[in-house]
């Protein structure tokens, strides 16, 4: 079975040095899927590729518009279709093909469900195009039951055409980083130990403004003993939050820290040096940081909404993400109750065992077989 894997977002991420969730997903599929009876070829909708193992398919937007208007297949894919049995669009770059099936991964319908949370340029037109692209796929893979129900609602795709395959967790998370290395990372960022940590791009749905307010409600003694460390690049619609973080850093230099970007290796060291992950997101298709914290032996506070209870199970403290009092109380409970802290670590270790990239790859391969 010869599979074409869409790697556009992965290639862009590797070029910029920053892999988002879609790029991480594609990276692990490319690493785990190859098997004696499955051959992968990488294709990207980019003009040029320095990586000789990835074939360039030209600009996606131009071909997508032509296909949407005329109903014709993408003009750059004719040769590709002769070489593969199925194309897997992992990253929302879903082409219209004429001779082979297309499987597409849609992580979530956030642009359709909450257009106010995404970039506003031509958003209505982009959403119309997104819905049409989804219909070009013969089968949809998504990452949680919540996302499957939402995709059915917003894309009007029948449940019979949607398969749920959860994400995995990077094996690096399970490796305990030596104390000396952790101390070196903390020293590099001028951080103490035993802090609350948040990981994620700064954008409205991540709910960092309420997290900051909740932290500042804690007793000063707790704030000093367990500062708040926010790890994440500034995204969109976050100008006010960035100003608040900079002000907090200036006024509360030893209790609030903002790290714009850290490497994967440093991220795991920072996780393993923390007291707990606080992830009060308003909307997630999955919530990979929750699993990364479980694997890092770190307790988790996360939201009662969207996919997060599905991923966390009974291994996390679930809070109302719209209530700063609720978030603050959960932080106080973890900081002051060592028994609760130990119980959450134990539950997290058990919960994360049910997720792996190998399982994700094997279930994805089953979808290929069913659609060829």
Note the pLDDT of residue 57. 93
Mean pLDDT, 10 residues at a time, the chain of 372 residues: 95 85 94 86 84 84 92 94 96 95 96 81 81 96 97 96 96 91 95 95 90 95 95 75 73 81 89 97 96 96 98 98 98 97 97 95 95 90
Note the pLDDT of residue 234. 75
Note the pLDDT of residue 245. 76
Note the pLDDT of residue 21. 87
Note the pLDDT of residue 237. 65
Q: Could you give the CA distance from residue 72 to residue 52 in angstroms, rounded to a whole number?
A: 29
* Helices and strands in the chain, H and E counts: 17, 13
Quick one: which of 239, 270, 238, 240 has its CA closest to 257?
A: 270
Quick one: which of 116, 118, 112, 93 has its CA closest to 103?
A: 93
Note the pLDDT of residue 122. 66
Quick one: which of 303, 297, 289 has its CA closest to 347?
A: 297
- Do β-strands 139-142 and 317-319 pair in parallel, antiparallel, or remain unpaired? unpaired
CA distances from 52 to 49, 56, 66, 89 (A): 7, 9, 28, 20
CB-facing half-sphere around the CA of 21: CA atoms within 13 A:
21
Q: Could you give the CA distance from residue 151 to residue 182 in angstroms, rounded to a whole number?
A: 41
- Do β-strands 39-44 and 162-164 pair in parallel, antiparallel, or remain unpaired? unpaired
Note the pLDDT of residue 118. 73
Q: Strand pairing partners for 139?
A: 103
**Ordered strands of the 256-259 beta sheet:** 256-259, 228-231, 196-199, 276-279, 300-303, 317-319
Collapse the DSSP code of 199 into the 3-class scheme (helix H, G, I; strand E, B; otherwise coil) and give the result.
strand
**Ordered strands of the 2-6 beta sheet:** 54-56, 39-44, 2-6, 86-89, 102-105, 139-142, 162-164
Are 95 and 130 in contact by the 8 Å Cβ rule? The answer is no
Are 217 and 328 in contact by the 8 Å Cβ rule? The answer is yes
Note the pLDDT of residue 120. 65
pTM: 0.91
Domains within the chain, CATH numbers bracketed: 2-168+356-370 (3.40.50.2000), 171-352 (3.40.50.2000)
Quick one: which of 178, 134, 170 has its CA closest to 152?
A: 134
């Amino acid at each position: 079975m010869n599979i074409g894997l869409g790697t556009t977002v992965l290639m862009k991420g590797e070029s910029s040095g920053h892999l988002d969730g879609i790029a991480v997903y594609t990276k692990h599929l490319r690493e785990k899927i190859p098997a004696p009876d499955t051959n992968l070829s990488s294709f990207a909708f980019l003009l040029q590729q320095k990586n000789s193992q990835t074939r360039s398919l030209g600009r996606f937007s131009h071909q997508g518009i032509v296909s949407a208007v005329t109903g014709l297949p993408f003009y750059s894919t004719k040769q590709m279709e002769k070489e593969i049995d199925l194309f897997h669009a992992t990253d929302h770059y879903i082409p219209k093909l004429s001779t082979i099936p297309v499987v597409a991964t849609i992580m979530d319908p956030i642009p359709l469900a909450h257009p106010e949370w995404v970039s506003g340029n031509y958003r209505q037109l982009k959403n119309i195009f997104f819905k049409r692209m989804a219909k070009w796929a013969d089968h949809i893979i998504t990452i949680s039951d919540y996302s499957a129900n939402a995709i059915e609602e917003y894309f009007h795709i029948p449940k019979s055409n949607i398969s749920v395959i959860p994400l995995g967790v990077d094996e690096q998370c399970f490796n305990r980083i030596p104390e000396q290395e952790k101390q070196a990372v903390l020293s590099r960022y001028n951080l103490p130990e035993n802090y609350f940590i948040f990981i994620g791009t700064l954008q409205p749905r991540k709910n960092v403004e309420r997290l900051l307010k909740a932290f500042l409600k804690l007793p000063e003694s707790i704030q000093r003993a367990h500062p708040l460390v926010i790890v994440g690049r500034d995204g969109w619609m976050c100008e006010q939050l960035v100003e608040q973080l900079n002000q907090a850093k200036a006024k509360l230099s030893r209790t609030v820290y903002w790290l714009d970007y850290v490497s994967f290796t440093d991220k795991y060291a920072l996780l393993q040096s923390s007291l707990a992950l606080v992830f009060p997101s308003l909307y997630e298709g999955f919530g990979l940081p929750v699993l990364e914290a479980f694997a890092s032996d770190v307790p988790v506070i996360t939201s009662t909404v969207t996919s997060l209870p599905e991923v966390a199970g009974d291994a996390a403290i679930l809070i109302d993400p719209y209530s700063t009092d609720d978030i603050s109380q959960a932080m106080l409970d973890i900081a002051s109750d060592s028994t609760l802290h130990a119980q959450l670590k134990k539950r997290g270790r058990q919960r994360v065992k049910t997720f792996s990239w190998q399982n994700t790859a094997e279930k994805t391969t089953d979808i290929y077989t069913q659609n060829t």
